[in-house]
Amino acid sequence: MAGLTHFDAKGAAQMVDVSEKPATARRAVARGWVAMAPETLALVTGGTAAKGDVLGVARLAGIMAAKRTAGLIPLCHPLALSKVAVDLAPGADRVEIEATVATTGPTGVEMEALTAVSVAALTVYDMLKAVDRGMVIGGIHLTLKEGGKSGRYEAR
């Protein structure tokens, strides 16, 4: 289990001790999408979905999810987030989702950004499933991580 910090020497799951790590500015960006039929996307762009403002509700759901990540992912540290921004934009055949999360602390916010995108995507699906059960959620990935000992990571 060398290199996997969430396991102890015996292979048991553990929460990483970050008490000795310095607080630094940290930021993470994640992206994903929900692909759908053109008619479904037209409901989103036209603001005519039966459940209301799909993008607005999904944005709020993503923000709320980022703030609750430690309650969803067992070994995540609860963090005081200084920024959570979730942007949703209609594309050619999908809704594109991007979440940016920031904090100053001893551990990063990658999981918070990924959780925000995931829950925003699930919310889009939930709000539109009555008209399009064939929607596909995908592409959820970390695109940027800044701060901390390991420095900057940027997806290619």
- What residues contact residue 68 under an 8 Å CB cut-off, 6+ apart? 115
* Residue with the two structure tokens 């990063």: 108
What pTM, to 2 d.p., does this model score?
Answer: 0.91
The model's pLDDT over 63-110, given as tens digits with 9 standing for 90+, comes to 999 999 999 999 899 999 999 999 999 999 999 999 999 999 988 899
The model's pLDDT over 105-124, given as tens digits with 9 standing for 90+, comes to 988 899 999 999 999 999 99
CA distance 11 to 110: 24
Residues carrying an active site annotation: 126
